[in-house]
Amino acid sequence: MYRWIRNLHLILGVFASLPLILYAVSAVQMAHDRWLPFTSVKSQRSFEMPASAFSDPAALRKQLVESYGITGELQDSEVTPDRIRLSLFRPGIIHEVSYARQTGETVVKMRVNGVVGVMNRLHHLAGVTHEDRAFNAWGWLLGVVSIALLAIGVSGIYLWFKLHSERLIGIVLLTVSLGFSLTLIVLLRHP
């Protein structure tokens, strides 16, 4: 039993390591943005689309994909009598679109994120109900990695408990980690 759990612990650790490294780097970037600056390149383009042709953001998005190859998941949208605004999101690119309904003038502001920016956006990407299959695959991967982390923790405690010579240092590390985590939780919740 010990050998089987040890092998499972090692396999799960190797499997989860790459997504965890990505999350660790993006967490450092969010907490200390001076250490890992979030760089992006901004550009803008304008073109004419048919006037009064679109009544909702989904129809406008469909035309943008078909005619101009502007893709992404519809994040935010606003419809007014004279304008449709929408935001299309991919981890590496964000398109802000403004369509004038009376004239058809369309302005697309594009922000292309660097590698650190992509990791930051992946850190925030959650769920498995996206239109894009790649987004859903990422969500499922994170779910499996989360379960793997729980299994690593439980199997690690079991393996530590079986090594009698390591119990004292294990108890110290577990107590310090638990105390530090609980203290931070309390301090973050209360002013």
Per residue in 6-59, pLDDT (tens digit) is: 999 999 999 999 999 988 888 888 888 888 887 889 999 998 888 888 888 888
Does 18 share its domain with 53? no
Which residues constitute the domain of residue 97? 40-113
Domain count, the chain: 2
> What is the per-residue pLDDT across 143-174, written as a single tens digit (0 to 9) for each?
999 999 999 999 988 888 887 777 788 788 88
> What is the per-residue pLDDT across 71-119, written as a single tens digit (0 to 9) for each?
888 888 888 888 999 999 888 889 999 999 889 899 999 999 888 888 8
Is residue 120, in this structure, part of any structural domain at all? Answer: no
**Mean pLDDT taken over the chain:** 88
Does this model's pTM top 0.85? My answer is: no
Does 94 share its domain with 158? no
Domain edge (last residue) among 80, 113, 146: 113
Is residue 58, in this structure, part of any structural domain at all? Answer: yes
Angle (nearest 5°) at CA 47 between 53 and 59:
30
Does 45 share its domain with 94? yes
Does 28 share its domain with 47? no
